[in-house]
Structure 1
Amino acid sequence: MPELVATLTAPLPAAEADAPQLVHLGGCPALLQRGDGELVVQLLDDAFGVTRTLRFPAPWPRRSGSHTVAPDADLAVFTGRDAVRAVDAEGSVRWEVRHGGWPHPDRGSAAFSPDGRLVWAHVRGPLLDAGEPDPDAVDEWLVLDAADGRVLARADAQAAAAGSVHVPHPDPARMGLSIGEGQDGAPLRWGHFDGERLAVAYFEGQDLVLLDVNPSGSRFLTVDHDQNTLAVHETASGAVVARWDAGTSAPRHPDAEPDNDEAEPYWDWAGGFVDDTTVLASTVESDEEWGEGRHWLVGAAPQGPAEPEPVGYPLPVTSPPAPLGAGRWYTYGTAYDSLHVWAARA
């Protein structure tokens, strides 16, 4: 049974904001929550106490895009319908990159590199006022200078996104991009910026949702678009080194009807690494019709994958998990207005 480390209360009312997120900024925990008018950033100490609160004015409503915060917390970048904009805590616009514009309700995303020098942004092409736009690119992937928004490199994402999520790698020159195309698929893109050119691995013919990268950066975790297979890949080659099929690795929910063919479990599009070789996954979505959702710890050590082990909690847990590394993860309270931080017991 995991240990409850902390319970954090969301700074904004649930009815007026997105669910809070717990992230690492510059190696320290931080609680982020986006409302329509602002992005609240609470910097935390190692005991998850609030040390400082920053409020970044939002340039557009939260449903119009996503956000990311610099490792030193001095800058927030907001992705919107037709622009990517960097704003400081005083509300001043540092820079803006305009693009072709997402059709409602589609949208892109952005993320800082771990060293804070780059911003990776997924936008709808062509770029405006950036020189040499590619009229054939539907989606573009950009590497921007975080200081002034200059486009350092760009590539055709070769997708038609409904939405996307960036998954940072410990190496500032590398980034993962998970693109959702609704029912049409889930393209995975892996980028490397050598200082001049953005090289992209496209994983053609594979519909994979990228969930996480392990702390050392040697492996990444995916779930296929059909939610049947959870897999760990080598970062260098993309090769699968461990996989778990839900139909054989996760037993039916104990309260499911035994003769119901629709009671087969499937993996959530959520989870990640709690340490370099241990994955935390869940089957909450497929379990909810039958009872309490389940979480699973699975090992992917060099000697081979282990079978999933159910996680037992001391209080009801209704959400999928969000791993934090270092043996920790968090889950949401029932109303998504708080979150619980957990640690694996030795």
Structure 2
Amino acid sequence: MMISQPQLLADVASPSASAPGTVPPAPDTTRRVRWIGDGTAHVLDCAPLADGGALGTYATFPIAGWTRQSSGDVAPDGNSAVHVTPTEVACVLADGTVRWRIALDEPARSSYARADCAFSLDGRQLWLYLPDAMLGRGADRWWVLDPADGSLLAGTTLPTVGQGAAHAMHPDGRQVILDLGEGQDGLYLFRGGVEGDRLVVEEYPWHDQGCAALAPDGRSFMTLNHEEDEISFWSFPEGQRRLSVTLDAFGPPVVPVRTDDDPEVEELARFGYHGGYVDDARAMVLIDDTGDMEEYRHFLVDVATGRPLTQLRIAATETPTLLGDGSWLSIGAGGGVARWTVPPLDPTR
């Protein structure tokens, strides 16, 4: 299989971690990418590829009280972030001011479980998953809050005992996929949307698919099975399987087997959790050959056929942030960010 060198579009050094107070508005055509890393909110402007793909304003601000069980998201305008812990949900502004806070009941059990939250694309809703069953606080809850004041817009309970979850926002701005894991007991995928004051939820009928990534056009989504040896592509919203790709399609693993003192041969290779859509036609999949989830091989796959197109020459420790427009971000150890794309591939190879 051919190996392709990604093309560097732009890079930017990490700014200082002091609170900027207010993040300036982004140009109308610029995409604002936000993420939280080690208790710091990051806000980065990315110009369209047609305009050269430059990286613009890069601002950060700290989030106080961040721990291993924290989760959060940054608002689309970059001027606030929501921080969720086992005992509270809080919205903090870029200058450090707490806009609002919701106290949660103390966990009745010391089990590990991690909440998740995500802003809607327009910033007018905050989606929140609370793993209350695992923490002994009743049923799991899925809420939609008003980010302005933390008031409840809609919500429901879920028939799960989740240890963690992740939200995937549909590009129509109205629908959301909740990817929920129960550890060794399985996986759930829910599709939700707000109608009036109700959260309307549909459950996909399989409990072995997770790690959902939505296509940029919203017409399909990608999953990884519970055994981590198969990637599947599905129609959205129907959930009809279009095709699946197994590890065999990518050739022999770098570390094929482990025997130790056990006569049973154990396959180590598995797909990584960090794959997704590079654009509507291509997906990136990561393969972990050692089972330690620290180093990967990166491949580009044709979404329509499942055919591996090329291996990408990307640092083994890299877990790219895919932007869905044909480019992705890599974040360096020092906090600097680089933006990459894939050069045209030779269709004859």
2:73 corresponds, among 47, 61, 68, to: 68
- In the other structure, the counterpart of 1:329 is 328
Contact (CA 8 Å) 1:296, 1:309: kept in 2 or not? yes
Residues 1:298 and 1:265: Cα distance change in structure 2 (over 3 Å):
same
Q: CA deviation at 1:211?
A: 3.2
Contact (CA 8 Å) 2:16, 2:60: kept in 1 or not? no
Q: Deviations over 1:155-193 (max 9, x none)?
A: 112222222211111122211111222222222222121
Distance (Å, rounded) in 1 between the aligned partners of 2:301 and 2:324: 14
Contact (CA 8 Å) 1:87, 1:93: kept in 2 or not? yes
Contact (CA 8 Å) 1:11, 1:40: kept in 2 or not? no
Residues 1:286 and 1:8: Cα distance change in structure 2 (over 3 Å):
farther
Q: Equivalent residue of 1:275, what SS?
A: coil
- In the other structure, the counterpart of 2:284 is 280
Distance (Å, rounded) in 2 between the aligned partners of 1:258 and 1:162: 29
Distance (Å, rounded) in 2 between the aligned partners of 1:256 and 1:274: 28
Q: Equivalent residue of 1:244, what SS?
A: strand
Residues 1:208 and 1:268: Cα distance change in structure 2 (over 3 Å):
same
Q: Deviations over 1:144-164 (max 9, x none)?
A: 112221111111122222222
Distance (Å, rounded) in 2 between the aligned partners of 1:43 and 1:235: 29
Structure-to-structure mapping, 1:1-346, within 5 angstroms: 1=4, 2-10=6-14, 28-30=31-33, 32-36=35-39, 39-46=40-47, 47-55=53-61, 57-101=62-106, 103=110, 105-125=112-132, 137-246=138-247, 248-254=248-254, 256=256, 261-263=265-267, 265-283=269-287, 285-287=288-290, 293-301=296-304, 305-313=305-313, 316-333=315-332, 335=333, 337-346=335-344
Distance (Å, rounded) in 1 between the aligned partners of 2:295 and 2:155: 45
Q: Deviations over 1:72-129 (max 9, x none)?
A: 1122111111221111112222222333455453210100100111000001449xxx
Matched to 1:96, the amino acid is R
Distance (Å, rounded) in 2 between the aligned partners of 1:288 and 1:72: 38
Matched to 1:30, the amino acid is V
Stretches of structure 2 lacking an aligned partner (at least 5 in a row): 18-27, 48-52, 345-349
Q: CA deviation at 1:141?
A: 0.2
Amino-acid identity (%): 28
Distance (Å, rounded) in 1 between the aligned partners of 2:274 and 2:257: 25
Normalised TM-score (structure 1): 0.80
**Cα RMSD for the two superposed structures:** 3.1
Residues 1:160 and 1:254: Cα distance change in structure 2 (over 3 Å):
closer
Distance (Å, rounded) in 1 between the aligned partners of 2:129 and 2:258: 44
Residues 1:232 and 1:35: Cα distance change in structure 2 (over 3 Å):
same
Distance (Å, rounded) in 1 between the aligned partners of 2:156 and 2:128: 11
Normalised TM-score (structure 2): 0.79
Contact (CA 8 Å) 1:167, 1:210: kept in 2 or not? no
Distance (Å, rounded) in 2 between the aligned partners of 1:196 and 1:327: 37
In the comparison of the two structures, how many residue pairs are matched? 316
Contact (CA 8 Å) 2:131, 2:163: kept in 1 or not? no
Contact (CA 8 Å) 1:43, 1:50: kept in 2 or not? yes
- In the other structure, the counterpart of 1:129 is none
Matched to 1:174, the amino acid is Q
Matched to 2:99, the amino acid is R
Matched to 1:117, the amino acid is R
Distance (Å, rounded) in 2 between the aligned partners of 1:207 and 1:174: 22
Q: CA deviation at 1:277?
A: 2.4
Matched to 1:178, the amino acid is D
Contact (CA 8 Å) 1:83, 1:101: kept in 2 or not? no
Distance (Å, rounded) in 2 between the aligned partners of 1:258 and 1:98: 48
Q: Equivalent residue of 2:271, what SS?
A: coil
Residues 1:153 and 1:257: Cα distance change in structure 2 (over 3 Å):
closer
Distance (Å, rounded) in 2 between the aligned partners of 1:74 and 1:26: 19
Residues 1:41 and 1:161: Cα distance change in structure 2 (over 3 Å):
same
Contact (CA 8 Å) 1:169, 1:175: kept in 2 or not? yes
Distance (Å, rounded) in 1 between the aligned partners of 2:128 and 2:303: 31
Higher alpha-carbon deviation: 97-106 or 63-72: 97-106
Matched to 2:242, the amino acid is V
Contact (CA 8 Å) 1:251, 1:265: kept in 2 or not? no
Q: Equivalent residue of 1:249, what SS?
A: helix
Higher alpha-carbon deviation: 320-329 or 26-35: 26-35
Residues 1:27 and 1:181: Cα distance change in structure 2 (over 3 Å):
farther
Stretches of structure 1 lacking an aligned partner (at least 5 in a row): 14-24, 127-134
Distance (Å, rounded) in 2 between the aligned partners of 1:275 and 1:147: 33
Higher alpha-carbon deviation: 87-96 or 135-144: 135-144
Matched to 1:317, the amino acid is A
- In the other structure, the counterpart of 1:20 is none
Q: Equivalent residue of 1:60, what SS?
A: coil
